[in-house]
A = this chain, B = another copy of it.
Amino acid sequence: MMVGSDRITDQAMTAEREMEKKMSIKYCSICGAKMTTRIPEDDDHIRPVCNRCGHVHYDNPKLVVGCIPMLEDQVLLCKRNIEPRKGKWTLPAGYLENGETVEQGAVRETLEETRSHVSIIAPYRMFNLVFVHQIYLMFRARLLDTDFGPTKESTDVQLFSESEIPWDNIAFESIRQTLADFFSDRPGRAYSFEIKQIMPPEKHAGPA
């Protein structure tokens, strides 16, 4: 889903910007009246609330689901055709949609971004990306066909063995860590599920 991937951004969102985002909710989506920002009754978070009908606008973190499509000693990567990080390589992943399980979402995103089918093996990594209100959930998956190729969302789709991975050209830190952990776990085939945290780019910037 191109729009979903498009909405994935890794810009740091400070408390100030978060408030700005809340202030951008100017009108009630139910009755059309002006919204204010305040703490609703029985709540403890500031949220946009309708002055007329009382409707509260909630904004919660979104789940990004994806996978490592594996074929023998190779994994399938796709080259992003969408900003942010257009031209960089990534694993297939995108926003979970209503009406699907996390596994179905990962399979769908893989099909949309690589044209290939996978079967989910097991959950592998979760990442907290607090600064962009995203939770990543990455699965290990078996690549079922080799009919992969470019899509609207990917200019290139290719299999890579560990030594071929374009480490300096990976789109997101969550994806880089997923791949690094996977190839580190691979010799012992000990793929336990772990939750990790990704810090804003500013915070881990410095001598690389």
Question: Could you tell me which residues of chain A, from 87 to 126, have a CB within 8 Å of some CB in chain B?
Answer: 95-103, 123, 126
The answer for the CA separation of A103 and B96 in the assembled complex, in Å, is 20
> In which size bucket is the chain A interface?
35 or more
Confirm or deny: A32 has a beta carbon within 8 angstroms of a beta carbon on chain B. yes
CB distance from A31 to the nearest CB of B (A): 7
Known: A61-B96, A130-B101. A30 touches B40 (CB 8 A): no
Segment of A41-49, A161-169, A178-186 in the binding face: A41-49
Counting every copy of the chain, the complex holds 2
> Which residues of the partner chain B approach A40 to less than 8 Å between Cβ atoms?
3
Q: Mark A62-106, 1 if CB is under 8 A from B, else 0.
A: 110000000000000000000000000000000111111111000
Query: Are B42 and A152 closer than 8 Å at their CB atoms?
Result: yes
- Whether A32 and B30, one on each chain, are in contact in the complex, defined by CB atoms closer than 8 angstroms, is no
A56 interfacial by beta-carbon distance below 8 Å: yes
Is there contact, CB below 8 Å, between A1 and B43?
yes
Q: How far is the CA of A29 from the CA of B50 in the complex (A)?
A: 11
CB distance from A75 to the nearest CB of B (A): 21
Query: What CA separation (Å) do A66 and B32 show in the bound complex?
Result: 35
Interface of A is mostly: loop
Besides A1-B44, A7-B58, 18 other A-B contacts (C-beta < 8 A): A6-B42, A15-B99, A24-B29, A27-B30, A27-B31, A29-B35, A42-B152, A45-B97, A58-B95, A60-B96, A60-B98, A61-B63, A98-B133, A99-B130, A101-B128, A101-B130, A102-B126, A123-B195
Please give the residue numbers on chain A whose beta carbons come within 8 Å of chain B beta carbons, in ascending order. Answer: 1-3, 6-7, 15, 18, 24-32, 35, 40, 42-45, 48, 56-63, 95-103, 123, 126, 128, 130, 133, 135, 152, 193, 195, 197
Q: Which 7 A-B pairs have the closest CB atoms?
A: A27-B32, A101-B128, A2-B42, A193-B193, A3-B43, A98-B133, A25-B29
